[in-house]
Amino acid sequence: MLRSDDLLARSLAAVWHPCTQMKHHEALPLVPIVGGEGAWLIDADGRRLLDGISSWWVNLFGHCNPRINAALKDQLDTLEHVMLAGFTHPPVVELSERLAALTGHRLGHAFYASDGASATEIALKMSVHYWRNHGEAGKNRFLSLAGSYHGETVGALAVTDVALFRDAYAALVRGGGTVPCPDARLAADGEPAAEVARRAAAALEAHLDAHHAETAALIVEPLVQGAAGMVMYDAEYLRLARALCDRYRVHLIADEIAVGCGRTGTFFAWEQAAAPGAGTAGGWPDFLCLSKGISGGYLPLSLVLSSDDIYQAFYDEHTARAFLHSHSYTGNPLACRAALATLDIFTADGVIEANRSRARLLGDAVRARFADHRAVRHLRQCGMIAAFDVAGAPPDFARRFFAAALEQGVLLRPIGDTVYFMPPYIVDADDIDRLADGAAAALAAALA
Ligand SMILES: *Cc1c(COP(=O)(O)O)cnc(C)c1O
């Protein structure tokens, strides 16, 4: 029998936990998880925790999902791994074909890695190398939105506008340009979010007009900036940004690491901005990055989908014109098989459609408890993400709320003063009520 005190002490001694000031664990205990079942995590004392944030936004169909488990067990007895340079295998081929089809074959070439930050770096490198292969090596700078988050490796930090993650490494990071975010919260009273989007696009236009000659790509998180605190904006910005990038010959990278895989109500968030037949690749981005949910939350898998125009710029007799990037586990068969099982569930269960009513339940539950709360500001929702900001929150609000939510048996982890819900796509009405009730109790405790 596992003794939980023992496990916590051993973890603190031997494991350096991510995104954590380890000293804070002197006051806030780690949560020892020994099992998972559907939307629930089970701790070492048998306590159950409802996973309201999909275990950092990765889990789509619950923990220990029987269908994904079965696919992985089968794959485990067939082929666990083979290098992808010079070799191929059925799961990576099928996954690439199915993702290409989901973009309407506009982004038909899939390049694989393991973590989201690697996908960001691949897209950045591909963009610069594309321009170099076209004789425009001067186009090598990047542009991102205020508050952007695209990962934390040194290259990805160059397009991540989160001071807390970036400042300590400023000496290592080659900063890019930052343009205003079309954050819908910036709307004046009665002003539609699309108007904020048009203003932000005007600023983008001014920047591109001055800097397009040295700019390789603009990178955006379509519709929702996750790590910034679930900042939501109108799809009009994406349409305008696409047109401007076409006009100024700048690539557009859609980082759908968090918002892809159905999170915003469509499989790709970009679908809500795509105008059939317009511009480059029918109004789609040049690159689209996926990770997090694509493997159902099972295994590290990330990928970059790119257009034929991008792919062709590397297709040549000369090795140096090729994209010579690799990771040891690129295209791992187990991870790809988990992704195939995940896509199977989307189809078999009509998940995008079913999530419409699930998202309505989530919105209703959150509005019912928080719309009139004196401390709640900017209650907002995009598909299976709901969020609000808390006015007058104490400096340690996020940790206090998190700890109070745990007491209620729900896993919710605010970003700064923003409380958000991002549950897996299997929560039912009872689960949603439990999450919202837990949040209401946690908010009261954190503000007390
Ligand atoms: C999480 C995230 C990343 C980084 O992914 P990792 O797997 O954590 O490296 C990049 N972009 C966005 C939008 C993300 O939410």
Domain boundary among 294, 327, 349: 349
**Looking at the domain assignment, is residue 286 inside a domain?**
yes
- Which tokens go with 89? 């295998």
357 Cβ contact list (under 8 Å, min separation 6): none
- If pLDDT is split at 50, 70 and 90, which confidence band does 34 have? very high
- How many A from CA of 117 to the centre of ligand 1? 6
- CATH number of the domain residue 144 falls in: 3.40.640.10
Residue at which a domain ends, from 329, 349, 369: 349
412 and 345 in a common domain? no
- Does the annotation flag 4 for ligand binding? no
- Note whether 315 and 404 are same-domain residues: no
Our answer on whether the CB atom of 446 is closer than 6 Å to any ligand 1 atom is no
Does 126 share its domain with 88? yes
2-18 pLDDT per residue, tens: 567 789 999 999 999 99
**Contact (CB, 8 A) for 76 and 334:** yes
Same domain? 74 vs 57: no
Q: Binding site annotation covers 117?
A: yes
Ligand 1 pocket member 115 (CB < 6 A): yes
Examine the fold and report which residue of 349, 373, 391 is the final residue of a domain before the chain moves on. 349
What is the number of domains present in the chain?
Answer: 2
> Relative to the CA of 256, which ligand 1 atom is closest?
13
Shared-domain flag, residues 146 and 288: yes
User: pTM here?
Assistant: 0.97
Q: Which of 149, 162, 288 to mutate to test the pocket of ligand 1 (most atoms within 8 A of CB)?
A: 149
CATH number at residue 437: 3.90.1150.10
pLDDT tens sequence across 386-441: 999 999 999 999 999 999 999 999 999 999 999 999 999 999 999 999 999 999 99
Tell me: do 165 and 271 sit in the same domain.
yes
User: 274 with 190, same domain?
Assistant: yes
190 and 126 in a common domain: yes
Best residue among 289, 292, 301, 385 to mutate for probing ligand 1's pocket (most ligand atoms within 8 Å of CB) is: 292
Q: 240 alpha carbon to ligand 1 midpoint, in Å?
A: 24
Buried b (16+ CB within 10 A) or exposed e, 327-337: bebbbbbbbbb
Asked, for residue 4, whether it belongs to a domain, the answer is no
- Check whether residue 343 and residue 365 sit in a common domain: no
Closest residue by CA, ligand 1 atom 5: 116
Q: Tokens representing 295?
A: 């493997």
What pLDDT is recorded for position 33?
Answer: 97
Q: Please check whether residues 211 and 175 belong to one and the same domain.
A: yes
Is residue 26 domain-resident? no
Q: Which range of residues forms the domain containing residue 193?
A: 70-349
Domain identity same for 179 and 221: yes
Is residue 62 in contact with ligand 1, taking CB distance under 6 Å? Answer: no
- Residue 293 CA: distances (Å) to CA of 141, 245, 251, 370, 414: 29, 28, 25, 28, 20
Examine the domain organization and report whether 279 and 355 are in the same domain: no
User: Residue 274 — very low, low, confident or very high, per pLDDT cuts 50/70/90?
Assistant: confident
- The verdict on the CB of residue 222 being under 6 Å from ligand 1 is no
Helix ranges (DSSP H) in 212-307: 236-248
- Ligand 1 neighbour 150 (Cβ under 6 A): yes
Give domain status of residue 24, yes or no: no
Instruction: Using the CB atoms, write b or e for 283-294: b if 16+ within 10 Å.
Output: bbbbbbbbbbbb
Query: Does residue 21 lie in a domain region?
Result: no
432 in any annotated domain:
yes
What is the distance in A from the centroid of ligand 1 to the CA of 333? 21
What are 331-380's pLDDT values in tens digits? 999 999 999 999 999 999 999 999 999 999 999 999 999 999 999 999 99
